[in-house]
Structure 1
Amino acid sequence: MIKKITVLGALAMLLFPSCSKYQQLLKSNDYEEKYQMAFVYYNQGDYYRSIQLFDQVLPFYRGTDRAETIAYTYAYAHYNQKDYMLASFYFKKLTTNYPRSKYLEECTFMSAYCKHLDSPRHSLDQSSTEEAIEELQFFINKFPGSERVDEANNLIDNLRAKLELKAMEMARLYYKMENYNAAITSLNNILKDFPDTDFREEVMIIILKARFDYADKSIENKKESRFKEALETYDNYIAQFPSGDYEHEANQIQRNILRYLNSYSKSSL
């Protein structure tokens, strides 16, 4: 125990002068030393101290030849701290403040890339995901010859897949809750927004089930027209998936629709 305390005490004594010197530097008016040490700490991987010093020297060197490099390194310090929202903000700020910067292409990409990294799992709010897609597309349009274009396209594909999955889960939930109109609208939007979706067959069978259930639970004078809409949906499903995974279920729904329509026709005679 005594040996352990001695070791800890020795470490504290080694660290204390360093901490004390750093605190003195923060309070000093020597901006040249602050500037130099900000880069020293950055290169050592001490991004927290680097950021604190950059916070102080950024206003001091604004408008000088050093300002752009400070802004560039400052953005990367936040990126390396995994503070992706702030990193994205500062990368984008650099592109705005220095539109002819030699870092323009890189920082335009990094601003979008940080938004991608900040994108949460699909079950959460996807605002940052949509922003990331917009920024990545902006990058592709602005720098079509960049070697990063393929990576940007792949990132967009991954982000869109996340939006697609969220939309699909919401549509399933609407159907489960018997909110048939909301389910149908959501599912049709998936087909429109994601025309190559891997969920296409499932989307169409749920639309069919939702239309059938909606018709079945409608008031009597609405049933016929709604069952006919369901029958059209069945025809669309079979046309696209004649031997689909849900063929048996779809055929059963069709039989139920026809049974109702036939009985309705007889009762109208």
Structure 2
Amino acid sequence: MFMIRSKALYIFIIFIAVLISGCSEYNKVLKSSDIEYKYNKTMEYYNEGEYYKAYPLIEELIAFYRGTDRAEKLYYIYAYSDYYLEDYLLASHRFDKFVETFPRSDYAKECQYMAAYCQYKMSPNYSLDQDPTRKAIDKLQLYINDYPKSKRADTCTQLITELETKLEYKRYNAAKQYLKMEDYRAAYTEFDNLLSNFPDTKYREEAYFLIFKAKYKLAVNSIESKKEERIDAALKAYITFVDRFPESKDIVEAEKWYSELQELKRETNVANKS
């Protein structure tokens, strides 16, 4: 099945469809040399939500009105047209460019927020690369820093929390996957990273338990030359877990593994002395 991936291609196809359908009025607008008429029709199309019609006209008018008062309004609706056509990457760029070009505009604060919000809209599913998510967090935080008293600052805080929760879950899920694949070193390292990056994570108790589990599994399956060192690391992980969560539902299982590790340590010590 053919997928339209480019917004420019999408607009072109719609544009051709409009021409083929015999839209005489739109043809007249496109071919007109009356710039005032084109400007008014552009605003009409935009206000009616016909962004695919407005878009080619906006591009033409921006070049004509560059350096005039109308350029600001045109560039503003240019960015929003990309946004409403769901080209968030280009929209974010255009909103940023608006702020850069018109820093004193009444729309500048709004456009800075929209540039960040478009980045938020591009944040992918947790299983995919999260560079867009981190970029969105940075841009949202920048807006909060620049406009801490803005009514949108609270919204930015909520969006950041949502995005950080996604990053948190990605790390948690990755650690669980490593454990499932029996890559115990990678598993406890990833759980350590989870706790370092998200110290208040809701997975905190489970993470400490699974760090112990991963180190326990690594120890009991270890080669002889590294067994003693890994047993000691697992015993320390057990102590850390029970000190922090003495009432955990996993205490019974943890104590069972702890007893096994102590017995394994005694056996290892005897073997090393032989």
Note whether the superposition's TM-score is higher than 0.5.
yes
Tell me the amino acid that sits aligned with residue 102 of structure 2: Y
What CA distance in whole angstroms lies between the structure 2 residues aligned with 1:157 and 1:73? 30
Give the whole-Å Cα distance in 2 for the aligned partners of 1:23 and 1:249: 76
Q: 2:35 aligns with which of 13, 31, 34?
A: 31
Alpha-carbon offset, residue 84 of structure 1: 2.0
Residue 171 of structure 1, aligned match among 158, 175, 192: 175
If the length of structure 2 is used for normalisation, what is the TM-score?
0.88
| The one of 227, 230, 235 aligned to 1:226 | 230
Instruction: Give the SS at the match of 1:238.
Output: helix
Match in the other structure for 1:6 = none
- After superposition, the CA RMSD in angstroms is 1.8
Aligned to 2:3: none
The structure 2 residue matched to 1:90, chosen from 63, 88, 94, is 94
The total of aligned residue pairs comes to 255
Q: Deviations over 1:222-266 (max 9, x none)?
A: 101111001100111111110113212211211111111122234
Q: Which moved more, 1:82-91 or 1:110-119?
A: 82-91
State how far apart, in whole Å, the 2-side matches of 1:137 and 1:165 are: 20
Deviations 1:129-174 (A, max 9, x none): 1111000001011111211111110100000001111111111111
List gaps (5 residues or longer) in structure 2: 1-18
Distance 2:44 2:22 in 1: 13
**Match of 2:219?**
215
3-state SS of paired residue (1:99): coil
The 5 Å alignment of 1:66-81 reads 66-81=70-85
Matches within 5 A, 1:99-248: 99-248=103-252
- Output the amino acid matched with 1:91: F
C-alpha displacement at 1:17, in angstroms? 8.5
DSSP-derived class of the 1:148 partner: helix
* 1:66 counterpart SS class: helix
CA gap 1:217/1:16 in 2 versus in 1, 3 angstroms: closer
Of 256, 263, 271, the match for 1:252: 256
| 81-90 vs 33-42, greater mean Cα deviation | 81-90
The secondary structure found in structure 1 opposite 2:199 is coil
Q: Normalising by structure 1, what TM-score?
A: 0.89
Q: Residue 21 and residue 252 in structure 1: after superposition, are their counterparts in 2 closer, same or farther (change >3 A)?
A: same
Give the deviation of 1:18 after TM superposition: 7.0
SS, match of residue 69 in structure 2: coil
Q: Give the fraction of aligned pairs with identical amino acids, expressed as a percent.
A: 43
Among candidates 39, 62, 66, match of residue 62 of structure 1: 66
For the residue of structure 2 that corresponds to 1:82, the secondary structure is coil
Quick one: distance in 2 between partners of 1:61 and 1:231? 73
Question: Structure 2: which amino acid aligns with 1:246?
Answer: D
Q: Which runs of 5+ in 1 are unaligned?
A: 1-14
Q: Render the CA deviation track for 1:44-88: whole Å, top value 9, x for unaligned.
A: 111111112111111111111111111111111222223222221
Distance in 1 between residues matched to 2:239 and 2:210, nearest whole Å: 14
